[in-house]
Amino acid sequence: MLLIVGLGNPGSKYENTPHNAGYLFLDQLREFLGWDTLYSVGDWEEDKMFESQICKARVGGETKVMLVKPLTFMNASGRAVSKIVKKFEVRVSSGLVVVHDDLDIKLGQYKLQRAKSPKAHNGITSVELSLGTNDFLRLRIGVENRSENNRIPGEDYVLNKMSQEELDTLKEIGTDATKSLRTLVEF
């Protein structure tokens, strides 16, 4: 089973913010898997034990891909991720992908890397500490779109609502990022 975790913050206050790029990508990936006739894709369901929203993509009744949105808020994402990894005995180095926003990358770009994080990202730090390793694949989605004249602090910027144009840009790269991800991990 492949576990794909999108980091973000729950609640309408945080919808369509750069910090929720992981959630946004997972919504798009769920749609993509739903178009693939191989998969039977479920709805998002809240699981209190795992403190997450979970969507399963099955083949012949067996879960092949589990999409997870931790509901613990960004800074405690590792708590939810480690519970799921332990319960389903996920091999972190080959079976886990974490999708998150990255202010070190321009909006409209992404990087798919192993054990490489932005300079400061509390969600990724939480996941690394909870799992005791940084050896997992990350889809780093670029959200940096501040101008030289508008350099508000990053911690404020990532919680501001994005424009429709910015959301459209994220959706465009989501398609390409999904194709790139499929070349590295089987699903």
Residues 166-184: tens digit of each pLDDT: 999 999 999 999 999 999 8
Per DSSP, 163 falls in state P
SS3 of 17-35: the string is CHHHHHHHHHHHHHHHHHH
pLDDT at 118: 67
CA 164 to chain centre: 20
Sign of CA dihedral 70, 74, 76, 79: positive
Res 44: pLDDT: 98
Cβ atoms of residues 71 and 53 within 8 Å: yes
107 Cβ neighbours under 8 A, 6+ residues apart: 142, 143, 144, 145, 166, 169, 170
State the amino acid at position 173 in one-letter form: I
pLDDT at residue number 115: 87
Among residues 171, 181, 140, 174, the alpha carbon closest in space to that of 3 is found at: 181
Q: Cα separation of 22 and 7, whole Å?
A: 5
100 is catalytic: no
pLDDT, block means (10 residues), the chain with 187 residues = 97 96 97 91 97 96 96 97 98 97 95 84 95 96 89 90 96 94 89
Rounded to an integer, what is the distance from CA 167 to the centroid of its chain?
15
Q: Which two tokens stand for residue 78?
A: 């590792």
User: What is the number of H-type helices and E-type strands within the chain?
Assistant: 6, 8
Q: Which helix (H) or strand (E) holds 59?
A: strand 52-59
State if pTM tops 0.85. Answer: yes
Catalytic residue among 2, 6, 7, 19: 19
